[in-house]
Amino acid sequence: MSIQSSIETKLTEAFAPVRLKVLNESHLHAGHQESFDGTGETHFRVRIEAPAFAGMSRIARHRAVNDLLAPELKAGLHALAIEAAAPGEATRW
């Protein structure tokens, strides 16, 4: 299973989102390190809207997602941008 598929599955099962987009942004980071050409699954952006986030602070939402995806982060996922919202909250996406 790809890292992206694993992220999508875990987020769906844990938070039952009404909107979910997992974007592989690895290509945007090519050249940041001499040995990195931007291929693979190292940098992701998660945009998730779920009722489970209602009443949670931004930090609590980020902690919940980071805790859930800790195995992926330990296995080589280098960067994870999280945009989490509850239904009805304004988003920029």
Give the residue numbers spanning the domain of 19.
Answer: 3-85
Total-model pTM: 0.84
- Region 2-20 average pLDDT: 96
Residue from 81, 85, 16 nearest 56 by CA: 85
The reply to whether 69 falls in a domain is yes
pLDDT value for 38:
47
The reply to whether 90 falls in a domain is no
Q: Where are the beta strands (DSSP E) in the chain?
A: 19-24, 43-49, 79-85
Q: How many domains does the chain have?
A: 1
The reply to whether 93 falls in a domain is no
CATH classification at residue 67: 3.30.300.90
The reply to whether 35 falls in a domain is yes
Q: Which one-letter DSSP state was computed for residue 89? A: S
Instruction: State yes or no: pLDDT of 92 exceeds 50.
Output: yes
Q: Kindly report, residue by residue over 29-83, the tens digit of the pLDDT.
A: 454 555 545 456 678 999 999 999 999 999 999 999 999 999 999 987 888 999 9
The reply to whether 36 falls in a domain is yes
Cα(19)–Cα(14) distance, rounded to whole angstroms? 13
The reply to whether 91 falls in a domain is no
Q: Kindly report, residue by residue over 46-60, the tens digit of the pLDDT.
A: 999 999 999 999 999
